[in-house]
Structure 1
Amino acid sequence: MITKDLQLKALPKGVHKISIGLRYKSNGDGTGSFQGRYKIGGKLIQMSLGVYPTVRLSEANQAHAENRNNAKMGINPKQQKEETIAANLSSGTTFADILPLAYADIQRGWKNGGKGYGFMTKMDAIVIPAIGTMEISEIRPKHLADMARPLWHDKYPTIDKALLFTGQVLQWAEQNDYEADGGAAQRARKILKKSTYEQENQRSIPFADLPAFYATLGDNPSDLAFRFLILTVVRPGNAAMARYDQLEGDIWHLRPDDMKRRADHWVPLSDAALDVLAKADAHATRHAEITGKEKHFLFPSADSWQTGHVSMNNWTQSMRRANIFGSAHGMRATFKMWAELTTGYDNLLIEEVLHHAVRGAVEQAYIRGHLAELRRPLMQDWADFVTGKTDAKVLSPEDLKRLR
């Protein structure tokens, strides 16, 4: 039974059953399209429910369930969709007209509602001034290449994300029967060729300096969240937005919607990490009593009224106060250097801790959370080093070869 996006990516080319009336046509390369079938007055109606990965499995299931309910009431979902599209067409077909309609659907597939993605910021600053007044049917790869060219080599991450978002809007328009070129953004990249922009790595600190820095962190919610990030080696956003419903005993289970790779991640919690959570729970309990709300975030903040959780910006300030010029994300690189140079753990296990894609989609789907227990000794050794219980000694190449 297909229940996860990860399974969709691993499907061979062909048509596969998802549920009653819902099919997935796989292209065999990790992409595909959803198709729904419904009976209206004895007549079989077939319609597209979107293209994966723009439309996720959960979204397709939701749309299919709504269509089935409408069909049972005698409402033709395909006709209803066509009427909606016709109404939209009458209201305007420029890129700026289409944008809010597309955005409403696109952001549903983003984790955390797309906060922090900067979608509309890039649209307002880059895309709308360039192609906002153009008819959606007239936008070609050349227009997008002309839009991106001034920033292609100097501000590549920004303009690349703007191109990505523009492509999503055009794909949405094409899927919703507008005359649009859904592949224009991808072909614009071919026109522009490879960017000469050199990506700077996230600044990390030498692992030998980490225990002393860790000792400077206090027991307020922000510092506890930073401690938790260091001990679990997750990305900053995962630690700041850690939730109670993700805890499963001494395992922290991050779901696909929480992760950059859109795949489950099970983090075995060390003794030090569990101690951090115990201290954080006291703050969360007090926060719940004051606000009258149930406990939700592990590290809540009364100051961050918009998000409800601690701010990652505070961690940068903590490092500056300690005269350390690294970054919170750079702690992952610090962990990797420590693990690679001072331990005998297999590189595959180290990469699993960082949640990097080191296995095929099918293999990863079968392994699931079992590797969490194999990672537990590694995470405990890391915690013992970070908290100053053990020292780290760089191993010789001969010792590393022997141990691995």
Structure 2
Amino acid sequence: MALTGKLTKKMVENLGPGRHGDGGGLYLVVDPSGARRWIVRVVVKGQRNAKGAPLRTDFGLGGADVVTLHRARERALEYRRMAKQGLNPRFNAAREIPCFEEVARQVHIERMPTWKNAKHGAQWINTLRDYAFPKIGRMPIDSIGQPEVLMCLSPIWTEKHETARRLSQRIKIVLDVAKSKGFRSGENPVTAIHDAQVLPKVKAKPKHHKAMAWQDVPAFYADLSARNAMAAKALMFTCLTGSRTNEVLGMRWDEIGFDARLWTCPAERMKGGDPHRVPLTDEMLAIIEPLKELRSDYVFEGQRRHKPLSNMAMLMLLRRMQVEGVTVHGFRSTFRDWAAEVANVSREVAEMSLAHKVGSDVERAYARSDLLERRRALMEEWSGFVANGGKAVDQLS
């Protein structure tokens, strides 16, 4: 006899956040993030909880992306039958060994709140989806050993080494979680492969963003200053602050303190995950203050109202200017070279100006200052050098 209930396949796929009953104690739980999972609530006959009330217990049946509606109903029915017989399903249900993909997707759901943004979370599961699921996704999690892990890693180990390295980390996490839940035992095969050096050593070539020589920046900046496009203004501001593209393009007016001459970029837009204060010079303020008249939510508004510039806008401007072999991110390296060769400031001041973390965790715990005033002096000198055609300005003390 077919199992039936209130929910349909389409409802399972489309229902919004909340707990949606199918009947017989089976519920579809949809999180605000969109993650979907099954739970069943049963009352165990003849058993009481610590307060003397009938023992009512919820059991997770797995994510709705891997456990079908029909399978969830079957499991719910099995649990209800045991409960009616006075058997607690927690100890008496036949334990099924989940497949690798089931565990991986559950780990992804559980770790969603820990990622800095949705993009990072998507990258985590997409790596497994592209390189692991096709080979080992449907295999029982307890049957995955070194040969199965190597099936995933070997084809991309040298050609896509960084991807393979991340893939190995993510497979290891999934297998570790499975072991903690009692689905596996013994050593993690990823660890064994690493310790035995089964895969060849790959010397990663560092990728550097192509940068403009600091001597050429004043002439380039003068060319930018003659342009009225919003992308030109954003690129001027990026050159002067040494900030990253997404930090500048996402800048809102409430992040700027004009009286304090300070821009505070919030943690969610910073690569390091900490808010970053940028001292604003006269030249920087001269770029952004006229833009207040646009009354946009964003300082550097794009073609759509109250939307920022495209993250490709500044790069495309460089191409139109026929500035070859240079990236927007490269201006951070340009500033860093100038700070070392011309300004001759300490490494800490230069690195903090770029929002880089300096020193060990212990050192940073004690060095609580972000050296704002020393960085302000450095940015004043850099702005003067860039905007005044490379002429010397007051030297740092």
Shorter-chain-normalised TM-score: which range?
Answer: 0.5 to 0.7
Structure 1: 5+ residue stretches without partners: 1-73, 288-294, 394-402
Contact 2:105/2:125 (<8 A) preserved: no
Number of positions where the alignment pairs a residue of Structure 1 with one of Structure 2: 306
Q: Offset of 1:234 from its aligned partner?
A: 2.0
Establish whether residue 213 from structure 1 lines up as the match of residue 220 from structure 2.
yes
Task: Determine the structure 2 residue equivalent to 1:345.
Answer: 345
Q: Offset of 1:175 from its aligned partner?
A: 6.0
Which digits, 9 at most, give the CA deviation of each residue in 1:281-310, with x for residues without a partner?
Answer: 334x1x4xxxxxxx2x333334599xx432
Cα distance in structure 2, aligned partners of 1:117 and 1:87: 17
Establish whether residue 265 from structure 1 lines up as the match of residue 241 from structure 2.
no
Which digits, 9 at most, give the CA deviation of each residue in 1:168-208, with x for residues without a partner?
Answer: 54555556665489965565544435323322311111111
One of 108, 118, 131 as aligned partner of 1:103 = 108
Shift of the 369–310 alpha-carbon distance from structure 1 to 2, 3 Å rule, reads farther
Task: Determine the structure 1 residue equivalent to 2:252.
Answer: 243
Task: Determine the structure 2 residue equivalent to 1:200.
Answer: 207
Contact 2:142/2:183 (<8 A) preserved: yes
Task: Determine the structure 1 residue equivalent to 2:373.
Answer: 373
Shift of the 323–123 alpha-carbon distance from structure 1 to 2, 3 Å rule, reads same
Which digits, 9 at most, give the CA deviation of each residue in 1:62-113, with x for residues without a partner?
Answer: xxxxxxxxxxxx9xxxx97x72367888768223223443333333322233
Identity %: 24
Shift of the 245–209 alpha-carbon distance from structure 1 to 2, 3 Å rule, reads same
Cα distance in structure 1, aligned partners of 2:160 and 2:193: 16
Shift of the 85–198 alpha-carbon distance from structure 1 to 2, 3 Å rule, reads same
Cα distance in structure 2, aligned partners of 1:208 and 1:344: 15
Shift of the 94–320 alpha-carbon distance from structure 1 to 2, 3 Å rule, reads same
Task: Determine the structure 1 residue equivalent to 2:165.
Answer: 160
Q: Offset of 1:346 from its aligned partner?
A: 1.6
Shift of the 127–273 alpha-carbon distance from structure 1 to 2, 3 Å rule, reads farther
- Amino acid corresponding to residue 208 of structure 1 in structure 2: Q
One of 98, 110, 113 as aligned partner of 2:118 = 113
Cα distance in structure 2, aligned partners of 1:267 and 1:351: 13
- Amino acid corresponding to residue 384 of structure 2 in structure 1: D
- Amino acid corresponding to residue 379 of structure 1 in structure 2: M
Task: Determine the structure 2 residue equivalent to 1:276.
Answer: 287
Q: What SS is found at the alignment partner of 1:234?
A: coil
Task: Determine the structure 2 residue equivalent to 1:122.
Answer: 127
Q: What SS is found at the alignment partner of 2:59?
A: helix
Cα distance in structure 2, aligned partners of 1:256 and 1:186: 34
- Amino acid corresponding to residue 118 of structure 2 in structure 1: G
Which digits, 9 at most, give the CA deviation of each residue in 1:113-149, with x for residues without a partner?
Answer: 3269634543332222232222233334553343122
Contact 2:108/2:121 (<8 A) preserved: no
Cα distance in structure 1, aligned partners of 2:183 and 2:286: 55
Structure label with greater radius of gyration: 2
TM (normalized to structure 1)? 0.64
Q: Offset of 1:378 from its aligned partner?
A: 0.4
Shift of the 155–344 alpha-carbon distance from structure 1 to 2, 3 Å rule, reads same
Q: Offset of 1:379 from its aligned partner?
A: 0.8
Structure 2: 5+ residue stretches without partners: 1-50, 73-96
Task: Determine the structure 1 residue equivalent to 2:311.
Answer: 312
Cα distance in structure 2, aligned partners of 1:330 and 1:182: 44
Name the structure, 1 or 2, with higher relative contact order (CA <8 Å, separation 6+): 1
- Amino acid corresponding to residue 298 of structure 1 in structure 2: V
Q: What SS is found at the alignment partner of 1:118?
A: helix
Cα distance in structure 2, aligned partners of 1:180 and 1:282: 65
Task: Determine the structure 1 residue equivalent to 2:235.
Answer: 226
The equivalences for 1:35-54 within 5 A come to none
Contact 2:231/2:317 (<8 A) preserved: no
Deviates more, 1:171-180 or 1:151-160: 171-180
Establish whether residue 148 from structure 1 lines up as the match of residue 148 from structure 2.
no
Shift of the 361–99 alpha-carbon distance from structure 1 to 2, 3 Å rule, reads same
Q: What SS is found at the alignment partner of 2:101?
A: helix
Shift of the 116–136 alpha-carbon distance from structure 1 to 2, 3 Å rule, reads closer
Cα distance in structure 2, aligned partners of 1:105 and 1:87: 11
Shift of the 162–270 alpha-carbon distance from structure 1 to 2, 3 Å rule, reads farther
Establish whether residue 323 from structure 1 lines up as the match of residue 322 from structure 2.
yes
Task: Determine the structure 1 residue equivalent to 2:336.
Answer: 336
- Amino acid corresponding to residue 156 of structure 1 in structure 2: H
Contact 1:136/1:180 (<8 A) preserved: no
Cα distance in structure 2, aligned partners of 1:160 and 1:321: 37
Shift of the 354–178 alpha-carbon distance from structure 1 to 2, 3 Å rule, reads farther
Determine which structure has the larger helix proportion and give its number.
1
